[in-house]
Amino acid sequence: MDYLKQFSLEGKVALVTGAAYGIGYAIAKAYAKAGAKIAFNCRGEKHMSEAIEAYKKDGIDAKGYYCDVTKEDEVQKMVADIEKELGTVDILVNNAGIIKRIPMIEMSAEEFRQVVDIDLNAPFIVSKAVIPGMIKKGHGKIINICSMMSELGRETVSAYAAAKGGLKMLTRNICSEYGSANIQCNGIGPGYIATPQTAPLRTEGHPFNSFILSKTPANRWGTPEDLEGPAIFLASDASNFVNGHILYVDGGILAYIGKQP
Ligand code: NAP
Ligand code: GCO
What pLDDT digit, counting tens, does each position of 189-235 carry?
A: 999 999 999 999 998 888 999 999 999 999 999 999 999 999 999 99
Across-strand partners of 65? 41
Where are the alpha helices (H) located in the chain, listed in sequence order? Answer: 22-33, 45-57, 72-85, 109-116, 122-137, 158-178, 207-215, 228-235
Tell me the CA–centroid distance for residue 55 and ligand 1, in Å. Answer: 17
Which ligand 1 atom is at minimum distance from the Cα of 20?
9
* Whether residue 187 has its Cβ less than 6 Å from ligand 1: no
CA distance 183 to 135: 8
Which ligand has the shortest distance to the CA of 23?
Answer: 1
Query: Could you report the per-residue pLDDT of 89-108, keeping only the tens digit for each?
Result: 999 999 999 999 999 999 99
The whole-number pLDDT of residue 170 equals 99
- Distance, in Å, from the CA atom of 39 to the CA atom of 79, rounded to the nearest integer, reads 10
Contact 92, 141 (CB under 8 A): yes
Domain ranges of the chain: 8-251
Give me the pLDDT at residue 203, please. 86
Q: Does the CB atom of residue 212 touch ligand 1 within 6 A?
A: no
Cα–Cα dist 160/176, whole Å: 24
pLDDT at position 1 is 57
pLDDT at 22: 96
Label residues 144-182 b or e (16+ Cβ within 10 Å = b).
Answer: bbbbbbbbeeeebbbbbbbbbbbbbebbbebbeebeeee
Quick one: pLDDT at residue 51?
98
Which of these, 45, 48, 130, 35, lies nearest to 83 by C-alpha position?
130
Q: What is the pTM of this model?
A: 0.98
Q: Identify the nearest ligand to the CA of 101 by its number.
A: 2
What is the model's pLDDT at position 204? 82
Which residues in the chain show pLDDT less than 70?
Answer: 1
Q: What is the pLDDT of residue 251?
A: 97
Q: Quick check: is 160 catalytic? A: yes
CATH architecture of 8-251: 3-Layer(aba) Sandwich (3.40)
Ligand 2 mutation target, pool 98, 150, 157, most atoms within 8 A of CB: 157
